[in-house]
Amino acid sequence: MRTKKGIINALNFKTNDTQQDDTIILQKAIDQGAKEHLPVFIPKGIYLVGALFLKDKSHLIFEEGAVLKGRTDIEAFPEIDTRVAGVEMKWPAAILNVLSAKDILIEGKGIIDGQGDHWWELYWGKDQKSGTRAEYDQKGLRWIADYAIKRPRACLLYHAEHVVVRDLIFQKSGFWNLQITYSNDVLVEKVIIRNNDGPSTDGIDIDSSTNVRVYECDLACGDDCIAIKSGRDGNGARVNRKSSRIEVARCKIRSGYGVTIGSEVSAGVSDVYIHDIDFFQSDCGIRMKSSKERGGVIENIRVENLNMIDVHFLFLG
């Protein structure tokens, strides 16, 4: 099942049946690659998938033009133990999942397409004023909507270590695009995020993680482009894992809410270096979010060399 160059081609696992779902063939290729410590090559083409799970020493190489298109049935994304918006809970898996795994490389100009239009309509309807969200608004329970209306993320790193995500393109995620939680030593480089006009479509969320570098990314989002978090209220204080030693550099921030610390910061955030960032027509540049009830200490934050063009709020607290 490998090429002459010692690279496993995912298409070698494809059968001759007419089944449209490609989850099984890609998962088989991923499992084989991890077992043999060989990279898995995903050729250009459209692959309809549910949740995929990477293991220790997984290495995925996307050919330009390869598209993982997430399915629109929630059953394709089994519920897992995870954290969402600062609270630990059961929630659907992402399209790409790195759970309690290490030494992972995901690279290449492939596209992770969450088919977000389907999920966004469930949340706020076709007019962005109805849907399930409106039902919660009428009850004064707006804050519950994000938790109750379950939508798959594009990529989740959870209890992961030594991970590189490079050159990928994320579009139309149902929920957050790239979530990094309880993880250490992560490099996100030259990632592009586009076509994310939906609710809670954050770009990169760094949540109770350490030694995270975000370099040369180009982000246009429907919410925070980059957010640094550490847990919400009592749940976050119980876990008590802060985010620290984080660098965000040489990125382009477009639509969305800029680079944010918070609002879930109950365990604290420290030692963050944000520099050489270009902002283009974003709602905010740098934003600090929290509340009196939430708690958490934010310290040792260094910000410099920012270029902002047509940004509504340069610094917002």
The pLDDT tens digits of the residues spanning 201-210 come to: 999 999 999 9
Number of domains into which the chain is organized: 1
pLDDT at 128 over 90: no
Query: Is 2 inside a domain boundary?
Result: no
pLDDT band at 281 (very low <50, low <70, confident <90, very high): very high
End-to-end CA distance of the chain: 54
Q: What is the pTM of this model?
A: 0.95
- How confident is the model over 154-168, as a mean pLDDT? 99
Domain span including residue 146: 8-316
pLDDT at 4 over 70: no
pLDDT of residue 20: 79
**Torsion of Cα atoms, 302 then 168 then 51 then 66, to 10°:** 180
More confident: 14 or 189: 189
**Mean pLDDT rounded to a whole number for the chain:** 93
Query: How do residues 14-67 score in pLDDT, each as one tens digit?
Result: 766 556 799 999 999 999 999 999 999 999 999 999 999 999 999 999 999 999
Query: Is 231 inside a domain boundary?
Result: yes
CA distance 185 to 103: 10
CATH assignment of the domain containing 165:
2.160.20.10
3-state secondary structure of 159: coil
Q: Smallest Cα–Cα separation from 93: which of 85, 103, 81, 105? A: 81
Query: Is 196 inside a domain boundary?
Result: yes
Query: Is 3 inside a domain boundary?
Result: no
Query: Is 1 inside a domain boundary?
Result: no
Give the residue carrying structure tokens 């397409």. Answer: 113
Query: Is 253 inside a domain boundary?
Result: yes
